[in-house]
Chain A
Amino acid sequence: DQQVKQNSPSLSVQEGRISILNCDYTNSMFDYFLWYKKYPAEGPTFLISISSIKDKNEDGRFTVFLNKSAKHLSLHIVPSQPGDSAVYFCAASPLVVSGTYKYIFGTGTRLKVLA
């Protein structure tokens, strides 16, 4: 049972346009959400996060939106650049007893930004 779903395995966007990556989750106890970016042969790198008490978080060209009632998360990249071409993972976690987060990752969406 996939608790975090990224239903689009791939996405192509023209340079300068908006990229929208989507993520759905099933566990209403999820408290904290992140997006990671991964280039080939490298580890994932943190991009942006949002806690369940917010509905939006912005960092430069990247904005994450959280719709708790729909259990839906989205990442907007504006404007998209060729260097944004990578695999993007969303991850979610409840706050566990030990005080740390045990993230459940989605399967990833491969974004290709066309020059």
Chain B
Amino acid sequence: NAGVTQTPKFRVLKTGQSMTLLCAQDMNHEYMYWYRQDPGMGLRLIHYSVGEGTTAKGEVPDGYNVSRLKKQNFLLGLESAAPSQTSVYFCASSSKTDTQYFGPGTRLTVL
């Protein structure tokens, strides 16, 4: 039982490049979330999903897209990376009213 896993752990991009972050959970959770954490700030919700095939915007969705094609996976895409997207990205999952379980994070640097 791996819980929530994130791929990759680290990535360096150049401005304008694209990439996809993968989150996978094996707890059969309905809900999945993507957050970013920046120095001096708390975790901020980017997008979330309440079930397979559904997504919704969080607090800071601009510049990101997401997809939830399978219940266990939640993908976060950056179509054209900007330095302002340098951050640590955390994925989380939960059942309907349960607490959120977080992955180990992906550290992304955009040059």
**A interface list, Cβ under 8 A from B:** 4, 6, 34, 36, 41-46, 49, 89, 91, 98-108
Contacts and interface: CB of A to CB of B under 8 A. Distances in A.
9 contacts: A43-B90, A49-B99, A98-B50, A99-B50, A102-B48, A102-B58, A105-B35, A105-B43, A105-B44
Interface string B80-110: 0000000000101010110111111100000
Among B4, B90, B102, the one with the most A-chain Cβ atoms within 10 Å of its Cβ is: B102
A4 B42 CA distance: 9
Interface of B: 4, 31, 35, 40-45, 48, 50, 56, 58-59, 90, 92, 94, 96-97, 99-105
A107 B42 contact: yes
Contacts of A102: 45, 48, 58-59
Contact of B43 (A44, A45, A98, A101): A44
Contacts of A103: 43, 45, 100
- Looking at chain A's contact residues, is the secondary structure mostly helix, strand, loop, or mixed? loop
A10 B35 CA distance: 23
Given A41-B104, A43-B90, A108 B42 contact: yes
A89 B43 contact: yes
B42 A100 contact: no
Contacts of B99: 34, 46, 49
Nearest to A2: B42
Nearest to A102: B45
Contacts of A34: 99
A98 B42 contact: no
Contact of A107 (B4, B41, B45): B41
Contact of A100 (B31, B43, B44, B105): B31
Contacts of B104: 41-43
